[in-house]
């Protein structure tokens, strides 16, 4: 999964770290263009990836 940088809007930034627990996945991102870091937490059930 990729995300867009909230600072400079660089598209398709790949996560530098991932943690998964049951139906939740967390990704840590660092933008290669501006260096901004951010994280996301997603419920895998919303993406059809968990039961």
Q: What pLDDT shows up at residue 49?
A: 72
Q: Which of 48, 49, 41 is nearest to 17 (CA)?
A: 41
User: How do residues 16-50 score in pLDDT, each as one tens digit?
Assistant: 999 999 899 999 999 999 999 999 999 989 988 76
Q: What pLDDT shows up at residue 47?
A: 80
* Residues paired with 20 in a beta bridge: 25
Residue for token digits 């951010």?
38
Q: What pLDDT shows up at residue 50?
A: 62
Q: pLDDT band for position 4 (50/70/90)?
A: very high
Domain interval for residue 39: 1-51
The number of distinct structural domains making up the chain is: 1
Whole-model pTM over 0.75: yes
């Amino acid at each position: 999964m990729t995300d867009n940088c909230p600072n400079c809007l660089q598209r398709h930034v790949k996560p530098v770290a991932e943690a998964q627990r049951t139906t939740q996945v967390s990704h840590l991102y660092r933008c290669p263009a501006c260096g901004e870091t951010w994280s996301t937490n997603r419920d895998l059930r919303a993406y059809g990836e968990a039961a």
